[in-house]
Structure 1
Amino acid sequence: MRPRRNGASRRTPSGFQVTILILLTLTSVVALIRWPETAFDVALVLFQAAFVVCALWKAVIGIASLRRPAPVPRPIEWPRYTILAALYDEAAVTPQLIANLSRIDYPAHRLEAFIVLEAHDEATLVVAQATPKPPWLKILIAPPGSPQTKPRALNYALGHARGDLVTIYDAEDRPHPQQLRQAAARFVAQPRLGCLQAPLRIRASAKPGSWFLDRQFAFEYAALFEVTLPGMARLGLPFPLGGTSNHIRMTALRGAGGWDAHNVTEDADLGFRLWSLGWKLGVIDSPTWETPPGAMDRWLPQRTRWLKGYMQTWGVHTRRPNALGRRGSLSLIMTLGAAILSAAAHAPTLAWLALAIAVWALSGVLPPLPGGSLGVLALGVIVAWMSCAAGARRAGLDYRLGDVLAAPAYWALLSLAFVHAAWRLAVEPHVWDKTPHDRDGQMPELTVVALDAGREAA
């Protein structure tokens, strides 16, 4: 199954995109050479405007996220559900994943699951075959081919799927046992609902050498999945899906042509593709627990892949901006566009402030700083902190003063990932930077309670 033509990230940029990029580059270069002061003033105004817009966006989204969706009734008959998990080099955590999937509370006769492995991944295959499995869980072997990516494996498994609904899990995931019931009830109650995103919650790791990254990663996830995505869903806006725990109506997924095998963030792309085809997106509150990536040697490749995929998705969906409409284009700009630009701006902005402070400390003279820029920067930082604090509270995390003060250092690292992502996009656009996973014995114990209507036992 192939994604629709305009959604294929393997295509080169369109003539329109190349023309716009060349014009912007030439205009910027000429302005810097001919009118440097004016160019700086214009850039400063644009910088301030972007920060104000982003801050207002976060504030509006945060307020919208406070609205609770209306409960939905329990379906008369539960729809058929397919679970897909594409694994590669995950022998260490495969038994854990199978155990976590076995805890899912859904009628067994309406459930099927496929763990998809690569043909040459013998270690994971041996472990998967040896691990006891429920009868509704099968192992599939994806045939050799290119590109070797998660979405390609998922597309292969889609040909075997018979469910009315499908969800995706990663190797380290532990979904709440009643997550499928909550999603199924929403799909039955809302016929135009194409996809639901479950919140991803990160437990703080105790691994040496990654405490700082793990905590900041957890708060970043909390702000995204507990505040931003619920707020956008309440406002009826599309959003980039997370890489796991997407619940999708099968007719919508097949109509979209499945996943784009050449996009390394196929999830972000799919959310906007479903919207462009007329489907609505939503969220549920039944979580999936994950482990953080860990130390810098794991965090950086993962974040590089995300930003590279965001750039790919941006390129795909700006080829035909009319397909998304005004609301879809706004969401694309304020999610993927803002993520890319902010990642590029974090380190230079912090370096500018650090230089001014260093000059003041050494000479006693504070360099002239645009007061408006400092005020706008402070506004953006405060709103970002508030979003993290609200998300952390909803996710049950302890957001401390030390975490607040450490956040700018984490933001600066995003600029490193941005540079790496831009380079990788140029030289290896479709290569998948895999994140290794370790077996985790510290996931929270679950108390199965009714999270919403429509999730009681069958």
Structure 2
Amino acid sequence: MRGLAPFQTVMLTAFTAAFALALWFWPARFAGWIVAGAAFAFLVMAVWRVVLILVSAAPLPEPPIPSVWPRYTILAALHDEAEIVSQLIERLSRIDYPPDRLHGLLVLEAHDHETIAAALAAPRPDWLEVLVTPPGRPQTKPRALNFALTHATGELLTVYDAEDAPDPHQLREAAARFAADRSGRLACLQAPLRIRAPDGDQARFVDRQFAAEYASLFETVLPGMARLRLPFPLGGTSNHFRVDVLRAVGGWDGWNVTEDADLGFRLWSHGWTLGVMARPTWETPPGGLPHWLPQRTRWLKGYLQTWGVHTRKPWRLGWRGAFALVMTVGAGLVSAAIHGLTLAWVTAAVLVSAMAGLPPETPVLALCVLVLGAASAWLSCAIGARRAAAPYTAGDMMAAPAYWALLSLAFVHAAWRLVLDPFAWDKTPHRREAGPEGISPAASEAETHDALDATAPLRLSAGHAAASEPVA
């Protein structure tokens, strides 16, 4: 659904009018109000990060083992992944779950002949099938997942990406946590995503900052919000769902390029809750600025879409859900928009003062809040990195503002792309990892399954899937 809703139109008009009136009648005070408002927002975010760090400190309790393991469906939507589809199959085959209770689908696009051929040629366990999505619009990952959802036979379902290396025991933990849920309202569990560069090399600036950013999100922010029983934007992979609930809420929004972020809040708006788990999934970083920028552009564009969808009728989220939306999606967008400007302002103030031989004329309140905000971000990254066993040194901390400034470049690109091509999916290329099948630390210690069956069934679906409407 495109265009502003009546509520959004009223709020935007009121904000614009208040801004214009304040600028007209109180121009001298207006700048001070903006600085004070920004300082207050930075202070709230800094305190919020510290709260999440503290709340997320306690380890998750071990759930009891269920008497019966539920049937589980694994979905992996791939596009132009011929190079690494066999690697993904190798990793999925190491999953430690009763094979007779597993059902997996490699979801491929009809025109992607190379990936289809590679998937069919690779040895696959009996429970893993190839499902070809018929042509249709929009050509996005969530549309493919929605098509696969109609073929899912499990009571529980998880989604993996092409480059993923999930902990072999992840499905058992998720099934046990769902079984132990006494509320009956738990709809989704998010596994932590941890970044490791190919061949174990994380020397590149963007890769190291990306790993720290992931560690902050998946080791402190999301566990903290789950402990506070708040909704949060899901990661694009390794989320575990109850299939009946997923179908009841309409699956994924096929038009949202960060369908995971949207779905977390949509589940909440329907009365369901989200949780986290301990067993991780390892991923590789995008691989430098040329690949990082399109990926981050897509994420921010999807955040803009998610913000637009869920602020149409924000009361459906309740005050707690609306607060969580502001502190995650809203704060992420605002931070990305102003990081570059903030760094430019600080740099210019220091350079001008140095050239003039004078101390910087920076408001003390603004400077203190800025330092506090940066310190809380550093702390969240450092503690998250320690929990994820990821590198994060003093040098990484000093270089972090430059990485944050790059987010502003991605934000401008995302806003422009939202106007020109809102539903285009900027694909991140992936390469097969070197070494013995690119095995993750946990996977290398896990027992492998017996020899795989190369004649696993193929499911080809004829016909054309109708393009779904955007979720309102």
TM-score range, shorter chain: over 0.9
User: Which deviates further from its counterpart, 201-210 or 216-225?
Assistant: 201-210
Q: 1:348 aligns with which of 341, 344, 348?
A: 341
TM-score (norm: length of structure 2) = 0.91
Q: What displacement does 1:449 show? A: 8.1
In the TM superposition, what are the counterparts of 1:34-73 in structure 2 within 5 Å? 34-73=25-64
What pairs with 1:6-405 in structure 2 (closer than 5 Å)?
10-32=1-23, 34-190=25-181, 191-205=184-198, 211-405=204-398
Deviations along 1:149-206, whole A, 9 cap, x unmatched? 0000000000100100000000000000000000000001113211000000001356
Structure-2 separation of matches of 1:62 and 1:148: 38
CA RMSD of aligned residues (A): 1.7
Residue by residue, what CA displacement relative to the aligned partner does 1:386-410 show, whole Å, maximum 9, x if unpaired?
Answer: 1001001010112111101000000
- Which is further off, 393-402 or 62-71? 62-71
CA contact (8 A) 1:310 1:336 kept: yes
Alpha carbons 1:359, 1:366 under 8 Å: kept: no
> Which one is further off, 257-266 or 435-444?
435-444
- 2: CA distance between counterparts of 1:115 and 1:85? 5
State the percentage of identical aligned residues: 59
Report if the CA contact (8 A) 1:210-1:294 is conserved.
no
Partners of 1:192 and 1:26 in 2: CA distance: 42
* Structure 1: distance between partners of 2:20 and 2:132: 52
- Contact 1:237/1:328, CA 8 A, preserved across alignment: yes
CA contact (8 A) 1:227 1:387 kept: yes
Aligned length: 441
Matches of 1:302 and 1:33, distance apart in 2: 41
Give the drift of 1:30: 4.7
Aligned mates of 1:322, 1:256 — CA distance in 2: 18
Shift of 1:15: 2.1
In the TM superposition, residue 68 of structure 1 has moved relative to its aligned partner by: 2.7
Deviation at 1:358, TM superposition (A): 0.3
Once residues 445 and 52 of structure 2 are traced to their aligned partners in structure 1, the CA distance between those partners, rounded to angstroms, is: 28
CA distance in 1, matches of 2:232, 2:105: 27
Task: Mark the CA change 1:242 to 1:411 in structure 2 (over 3 Å): closer, same or farther.
Answer: same
- Structure 1 residue runs without a partner (length 5+): 1-9, 451-458
Q: Tell me the distance in 2 between the aligned counterparts of 1:136 and 1:43.
A: 58
Q: What do the CA deviations read for 1:208-244 (whole angstroms, capped 9, x no partner)? A: 9980000000000000001110111111111100000
Instruction: Return 5+ residue gaps in structure 2 as ranges.
Output: 447-472
Counterpart residue number, 2:409: 416
Q: Greater shift after overlay, 206-215 or 89-98?
A: 206-215
Structure 1 letter corresponding to 2:132: I
Q: TM-score by structure 1 length?
A: 0.93
- Conserved in 2, the CA contact under 8 Å of 1:205 and 1:211? no
Matched residue type, 1:257 = G
Aligned counterparts of 2:52 and 2:219: Cα–Cα separation in 1: 11
Q: Is the 8 A contact 2:74 2:103 kept in 1?
A: yes
Q: Are positions 1:444 and 2:435 aligned together?
A: no
Q: For 1:356 and 1:234, locate their aligned partners in 2 and report how far apart those are by CA, in whole Å.
A: 41
- Distance of aligned partners of 1:94 and 1:151 in 2 relative to their CA distance in 1, 3 Å threshold: same
Residue aligned with 2:157, SS = strand
